[in-house]
Structure 1
Amino acid sequence: MNNNLTYITTPKNAILRALSLFLLLFISSLQVQAQDDVRATIDSTSILIGQQINYTIEALANDGEAVIFPEGQTFSPLEVIESYAIDTASSTSARMKLIKKYGLTQFDSGRYVIPKQKVIIGTRTVETDTFLIEVNNVILDTVNQGLYDIKPIIDLPRDYSNWWKYLLWIIPVVVAISLFLWWLLRRNKKQKEAEQYIPPFEQAMATLTALDSKNLIAEAKYKEYYSVLTDAIRRYYEEKVYDRSMESTTDELIARLEMERASGHIDFSKHTIASIKDIFKRADLVKFARVNPPEGKAQADRLAVEDIVKQTREALPPPTVEELMMQEDYREALSRKRKRKLWLSGIGGILAILLLATGIGIAIKGYSEVKDFVFGNMTRELAEGNWITSEYGIPSMVVSTPKVLTRQEVPLPPEAQGKIEATAFGWQTFPANVTIGVYQFKFPKGADVKVEQLISSQLAMFEANGFSADILKSEKFATPNGAEGIKTFGSGSQVIDQEKGTVDAGEYAFITFQAENVIQQLFISWHDEDPYGKEIAERVMQSIELQAKEKEEN
């Protein structure tokens, strides 16, 4: 028996084998061609932590073919920190070369492989080569490089980003007060000009001159004409002869003038009194009986009144020193009264505008919003201001607070010194509406430390300083990064003044974490009636994160 195997090939089998061989060679040529169409390069295979690697993909495409490069975090375990825009370059062939660059990095040391990246050219999908990257640690020279002192705390500038909200209230109030003061000063100026003292004779002559400028006789307005004419005499006599001249009847006034003449107080002639009586009687007929005067009589009475005023001034005795002093005192008193009225009106008007603006603000925003705007609210400004996120202690506790916590001295009993390491960071408002403290205790390895005993000793210390815990509760607590601890919280009271017996109520919370021989704590207290203090406390407790001990040592 022949052990050699002999294959008999028929024409059909030969054709199939030839076709298979052709397809295999064709596919291989396509793959080689596809691999030639895409090329990936990197500028470095060894970097330090955080340094950037430039990853470049070059693709050749025919005219009209779409090219799709990788997008997103497809380079994991390396991170894409920047994806550059696609660039074009000329090619030796008729095809176009497209260039795509990526910026990659890694923040942990080790050896990493950049996986294959898929590039789609038309209907084809081409994969790039893999690359091995070595990420090295940064070597710190702690021998030759000196250490620097801790930099002092820098006060950040106040946040004025919400200044426009204050202007929405201040500008309308300022405009209203300005308009009111302008109106008040303008009115006072007019009153001052109106109250400016004019001697009786000059005032009477000015009234007669003003009467001449009016066209009352041509318009047959005799009633108004004679009213002005007789009032000029009455006002003059009101100050110089008889202080009830304006309200007296014609007969009463004539009788008073005759009495003054008979007593010798005023050197009136009988002709002057007769002229006054004749003019006043005619004026009464015009005003009450509507009897028009004879033609030309109104002009004659006007001239007669002017002569009567002049004759009266000559007949009156000169004013005494006492009269002049009384007039001066009267003018000064009138000026003081006007100034006092101006001040009272101004202050009253401004207060009314402020009260109105306050009422509108309360109706729109509410009482607490207006109160905080006018008088300020320290805890609200802290709650709504810029916060600071810092790390405290080693291993560190990350906490966000309104202000940075400063290092505090921790007094230890003599028996604990040298055995326990204690660090503390704290901050509180003044007055103490909000108090925040971060504590860390390191015990000897193998020491049996109970968190409950530590909290009890801390509460006892607080009570020795005047704080008493009225309610004490305890529950589990977890940070956003998964660290578990115990939350001890409740309400208490603080003695502010022992002599007066002043007590301030508030709430407090201990967040305690224990890992091996290290205990980390966050303490915070706030007023129980202050909503913004509670908001600060909740935000601080929600921001707690614990850094791993291995990371700190690294």
Structure 2
Amino acid sequence: MTKKILLLWVCLFNTPLLLAQMDYQVQVAVDTTKMRIGEQIEYTLQLKADSIAQVIFPEQPFFAPFEVIEESPVDTIRAKSNYLFTKKYALIQFDSGAFWLPPQKVMVNGFSKISDSLLILVSNVPVDTLKQKLFNIKPIAEVEQNYDALTRNITFGILVVLVFVGLIYAFFFAKKRREERNRKLPPFERAIEELKALETVTPSQQEEYKQYYSRLTDVVRRYLEEEAKITALESTTDELLLKLEALKQSGQLELERETIKNLKSVLQTADLVKFARSTPELGTTSNDRMLVEGVVIETKEALPEPTPEEIREKEVYQLLLAKKRRKKQLQWSLASVGILIILSLTVSIGVYGYYPVRDTLMGYPTIQLKNKEWITSQYGTPPVKIATPEVLKRTQSEKGGALRFSSGDYNAPFYIDLLFTQRTRQKEEEEPPSKDDQEAQQKEKIQELINEIINDFQSRGAVNILIKEEKITTLSGLPALKIFGTLDYPKIGKNKRVRCNYTTHLFDFEQGGINITLLYEKEDRYGAEIEKRVMDSFELIKEL
């Protein structure tokens, strides 16, 4: 009996929960089940639940083979006693065919709810090959080398090398320069400066005492050798003292007995420290340094005054040394700069070639046009897009109703002329002309255009005009008649006429015709490259 009652209570408590779980239904919808390749559709995932339900949408939904391009946050709307949870996804597909959108899983109070799957039909985009021409895949476009950055690279490289050389010089030669500067000081000032530097030295070990006394005795020996003209650096202590006694007795150096005695004491102490590894008593080093300083000062006072002739000779000698040093420094500086320039030019020529480097440094007109940032713009009717070194400016045209855009004139390094002509409407003929008549009319029309081009050249002063023609197709797939050749033109600033290359491309459309003329000197090394780049960029704009 007890088991039956317990089972009844369990059923009573679980029944509402089971009913609530069964009421939760996941609904899905799309704005269309038929789409085209690359078209976007909206997928809506919706669930209705009570206010206490915990609803979790999938964090990483799986819609393969469709791609998710946008995901909106969960939208919650209150509907009477329930809530409506909605989440939207923007999907896209780039393959044609029939595809199933897989079901999605939504968690409600820890239980999963599965949505239905949907069938989506993806169709191809129809292409009318009669109205819309098909063209071959464009070849790989060669990237032009930008020689405009060559000068900046050379300058930057020279600066980097100079900074590097300067750092090396400062690091390795600063000490040497300080020593040279010290040697340039008069012997007395240099000796006093070196003795002042020893004030901060406090030796504590025998090796440090040895170095200290070596420096101390070198100061006084060098001073005596330079000022008193005694071979002090190569003499022993006894030999040096005997030489000083001899100078005193001869009257050449009036030193006090006490001065010689002090010098003897310092030299003997130094010998004991350096050769007998003796350690002096505390305070001896400082006292010996003061004794040596006194010897240097008293020696200077005892030296005879130099004669005016000696002073002049010394000044002339110092000026001569300074002049030689300045000349040597200038030679080294010029040699270093020359080596850097030659090295930079050699590397640049090896990378870019001789003429591009030379013309960039010399400011060749057309290489500046070739390397500058080109301008891509739209012109005229029918509208065309073209890239040019300089923007084409609208100019007055001799032909009524024609639009003309040009850059420069015949005297410019590179001349560009873009002419748009409007076609007049003619009455339709009752009978279309025959094939032979059409060919004759076409030849007559071409001859008229050639005559117009020749007349235009002649009106500007050109002579010796040679003409060739051929039918071509541009890189963008436009058929054109190419009229090209050479002519002689009297450019301003030239003693004689300059031989020039010219090219005129004639395009014929329903709305009218387009003539683009390019002219540059025949000997110009970069004219052909600029011409090719301009014509490769020429493109008819079919949709605005």
Taking structure 2 as the reference length, the TM-score comes to: 0.50
